[in-house]
Each structure stands twice: as structure tokens, then as C-alpha cells.
């Protein structure tokens, strides 16, 4: 799986939008962009994934650059419960390996 | 539909003892993954299993560690002769399919292993 680069940490105020960036300049055409998050003392949980088009679900939105070399996870209104480490992961569609390769992620702090 | 169940939630062992960590995947899932997370570090892949088969064990230490996923029952991660460096959170995840189908992984709450 190709490598991703994320800021080590970010801060946000409660009820404000949060934009979490991810760079993946070596992404290949068959790589999907996945986001997971890990709340304190919990296992990771799936947030969203996409290939080329922007994606929305009940948790977040994913904005993917036209050249696919970067993406942004958008939390529309941060809550204290969104404080977590957010991982951006590339996963090759059709690959033989099922596992996800986690980097260091971005630790998001949310201030009341 | 219950999520991925891991037990025990906390496990304390003395050096030299054996540790057995159990993972019951989500109903209908036949793919199981084990990850280890050392304090203040990211998750490291250990092993990927399908029913009765080890598909990828590239992240498993060469000695003392083994994993199985029998036809019936939970997946087991076994650590023999534990040492203090084995102290970590061990997470299990399951999926219905593989990367070939772009399936997402569902994680359990983990087992915190403490070696005294």
C-alpha cells in the first residue's frame, strides 16, 4: 500500500467544522482512500472511503483532489466525542492482502 | 448484530507465562486480522487469517507468537513465555471479504496485556 502523510495533531473548537488533510502523492489508479479513527481506549472504527468522487455519509465528508494526490476528511460540526486519532489509509482494490496499514495519523483535540 | 468481541478485556501475566487472546468476528465474517499497539504508537499488523488458514503472517514475531482461526469457535492469538515487551493492546478486526472487494474492517475493543 502506498504511503500517506498527515499532520501529527490538530485542534478544533466544538461545533466548528474540521478539515483533516492527507497527502498521498504516490497513489495508484487502483488505490482507494480510507479513513478510520480511534477514540481513546477503543479499537479503530471506519469513517469513510472513496476513489475519485467526493463522498458523504452520516459521520463525515471526504473531499478528493482532482489529481488524487491529496484528500481532506471533513467533520461538519466537531463534538467532544470526535476527539480521536484519525488515520488516512490507501488500500489497493483487487489486492491479495486484506489488512490495513496504519500510519501515525492525526490526533484531533476538540475544545469546548 | 453483535460487533467483534474480544476477551478478556484486560489480561495480566507474569514473565514466562502464556497469554491467550480470543476474538469472535462479526456474524458472517470469515476474515480475521490481529494488530498490536504499543503505548503511544500506531497499530502494527500482525496476522491475517481466514477460516482454518493463515493468509499473511508477515507481521508476526518469529518466535513465541502463533494464531489460529478454527472452523468452529473464535480466533486465538497465543503468546508463549511472555516478556515485558509484549505488554500492549491487541486488537482484532474482521471483515466479510478482502481488499479485492474493498470491504471495511470492523475492530473489537482490544485486549490490554500487561506482563509483570
Predicted confidence (pLDDT) per residue in A72-98, tens digit: 999 999 999 999 999 999 887 665 566
- Whole-number average pLDDT of chain B: 92
Q: What is the dihedral of CA B85, B90, B96, B97, to 10 degrees?
A: -20
Residues of B in contact with A98 (CB under 8 A): 31, 33, 48, 55-56, 95, 97-99, 103
Please report where in the chains the cell 467532544 appears, as a residue.
A80
Judge whether residue B7 has pLDDT over 60: yes
**What percent of chain B clears pLDDT 90, i.e. is strictly above it?**
75
Average pLDDT of chain A is 91
Position A71 scores a pLDDT of: 96
CB pairs under 8 A between A and B: 72
- Look at strands A106-111 and A9-13 and give their pairing: parallel
Contacts 24+ apart (CB under 8 A), B83-88: B83/B15, B83/B115, B84/B15, B84/B115, B85/B115, B86/B19, B86/B113, B86/B115, B87/B113, B87/B114, B87/B115, B88/B36, B88/B37, B88/B38, B88/B39, B88/B112, B88/B113
| pLDDT score recorded for residue B100 | 58
pLDDT for the residue numbered A30? 83
Quote the minimal CA–CA distance from B103 to chain A in Å.
8
pLDDT surpassing 60 at residue B99 = no
Please tell me the predicted confidence (pLDDT) of residue A98.
63
pLDDT top residue among B91 and B72? B91
Cα–Cα distance between B61 and B83 in angstroms, integer? Answer: 13
pLDDT of residue B103: 76
- Ranking A13-17, A61-65, B53-57, B75-79 by mean pLDDT, the lowest is B53-57
B14 to chain A, closest Cα gap in Å: 23
**Closest chain B residue by Cα to residue A39:** B109
pLDDT for B39: 82
What's the pLDDT at A1?
A: 54
Residues of chain A scoring pLDDT < 50: none
> Tell me, what's the pLDDT at B10?
97
A17 by DSSP, 3-state: which?
coil
Amino acid at each position: 500500500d502506498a504511503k500517506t502523510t498527515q499532520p501529527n495533531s490538530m485542534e478544533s473548537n466544538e461545533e466548528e467544522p474540521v478539515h483533516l488533510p492527507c497527502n498521498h502523492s504516490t497513489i495508484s489508479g487502483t488505490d482507494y482512500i480510507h479513513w478510520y479513527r480511534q477514540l481513546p481506549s477503543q479499537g479503530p472504527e471506519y469513517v469513510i472511503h472513496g476513489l475519485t468522487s467526493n463522498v458523504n455519509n452520516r459521520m463525515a465528508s471526504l473531499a478528493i483532489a482532482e489529481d488524487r494526490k491529496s484528500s481532506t476528511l471533513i467533520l461538519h460540526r466537531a463534538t467532544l466525542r470526535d476527539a480521536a486519532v484519525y488515520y488516512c489509509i490507501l488500500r489497493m482494490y483487487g489486492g491479495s492482502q486484506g489488512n490495513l496499514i496504519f500510519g501515525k495519523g492525526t490526533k484531533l483535540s476538540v475544545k469546548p | 448484530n453483535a460487533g467483534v468481541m474480544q476477551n478478556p478485556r484486560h489480561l495480566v501475566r507474569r514473565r514466562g507465562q502464556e497469554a491467550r487472546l480470543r476474538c469472535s468476528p462479526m456474524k458472517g465474517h470469515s476474515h480475521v486480522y490481529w494488530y498490536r499497539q504499543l503505548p503511544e504508537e500506531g497499530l502494527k499488523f500482525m496476522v491475517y487469517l481466514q477460516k482454518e488458514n493463515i493468509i499473511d503472517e508477515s507481521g508476526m514475531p518469529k518466535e513465541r507468537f502463533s494464531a489460529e482461526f478454527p472452523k468452529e469457535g473464535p480466533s486465538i492469538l497465543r503468546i508463549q513465555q511472555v516478556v515485558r515487551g509484549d505488554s500492549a493492546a491487541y486488537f482484532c478486526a474482521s471483515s466479510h471479504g478482502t481488499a479485492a472487494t474493498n470491504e471495511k474492517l470492523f475492530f473489537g475493543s482490544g485486549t490490554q496485556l500487561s506482563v509483570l
